[in-house]
Chain A
Amino acid sequence: EVKMVESGGGLVQPGGSLRLSCAASGFTFSNYAMSWVRQAPGKGLEWVSSISTSGSSTDYADSVKHHFTISRDNSKNTLYLEMNSLRAEDTAIYYCAKAKGGVTILGNRYFDSWGQGTLVTVSS
């Protein structure tokens, strides 16, 4: 069974930092691109960032570029999101999402499994 468990969320002051982790199991982690998607309270889904299987290629939403960094450790089956200079508008549930994958790169860009999410609250 595919499973992703996020951790590292919590309450942080504006300007602070957090590091989210996503522990994956039930599939060959190193074979799949991974992503972070967030959802502000009562709002819709917002794609945040994606990373290739090796970690050599990353993409970011403009809203987080230059203050979030996505990474992965394939030896630990773990995805990370380093968040710096946090702002109130970063308050959201952060979901780890597995790419469906497939024979083309397109399969890296949509998500067939999601974790339960971890809540990040940015407030003084």
Chain B
Amino acid sequence: DIQMTQSPSSLSASVGDRVTITCRASQVIRNYLAWYQQKPGKVPKFLMYAANTLQSGVPSRFSGSGSGTDFTLTISSLQPEDVATYYCQKYDTAPFTFGPGTKVEIK
């Protein structure tokens, strides 16, 4: 099965900083990648699919890129409400594996 990794596992940044999270697949998955945000104690929230297509209602400071095996989620200007753990998920074929998550905190 294809394995998903994320880096870093956690990060601390200041409000207004540009934040980048990397997700890597162990094999090519084209652009079949989704991103989710899970705030502490909350249910996961769907952010985007097809590596870079933002779900309706998601702030435009979130963006995604990548194809093949390497993908990034970028927050252009970190806000306090962005404190959360972010997960990537592959969906080329089953199993639809999630990455281990990246925890984002405010410095």
Residues of A within 8 A of B (CB): 35, 37, 44-47, 50, 59-62, 95, 100, 106-107, 109-117
A35 to B97, CA, bound (A): 13
- Which residues on the A side are within 8 Å of B71 (C-beta)? none
Total contacting residues, chain B, CB less than 8 A: 23
A18 to B79, CA, bound (A): 41
Nearest B residue to A4 via CB reads B43
Q: Is the CB of A59 within 8 A of B95?
A: yes
- Which residues on the B side are within 8 Å of A46 (C-beta)? 98
CB-CB nearest 3 A-B residue pairs: A109-B91, A59-B94, A110-B34
Q: Is the CB of B98 within 8 A of A50?
A: no
Which of chain B's residues 1-33 have a Cβ closer than 8 Å to chain A?
Answer: 1, 32
Residues of B within 8 A of A (CB): 1, 32, 34, 36, 38, 43-46, 49, 55, 85, 87, 89, 91, 94-101
A47 to B97, CA, bound (A): 6
Given contact pairs A44-B100, A45-B101, A50-B96, A114 touches B44 in the complex (Cβ within 8 A): yes
> In the complex, which of the residues A46, A62, A95, A106 has the most CB atoms of chain B within 10 Å of its own CB atom?
A106
Q: Is the CB of B36 within 8 A of A62?
A: no
Determine how close the nearest CB of chain B comes to the CB of A112; give it in whole angstroms. 5
Q: Is the CB of A45 within 8 A of B87?
A: yes
Determine how close the nearest CB of chain B comes to the CB of A70; give it in whole angstroms. 12
Q: Is the CB of A44 within 8 A of B101?
A: yes
Which of A60, A100, A115 contacts B43, CB < 8 Å? A115
Nearest A residue to B44 via CB reads A114
Determine how close the nearest CB of chain A comes to the CB of B90; give it in whole angstroms. 9
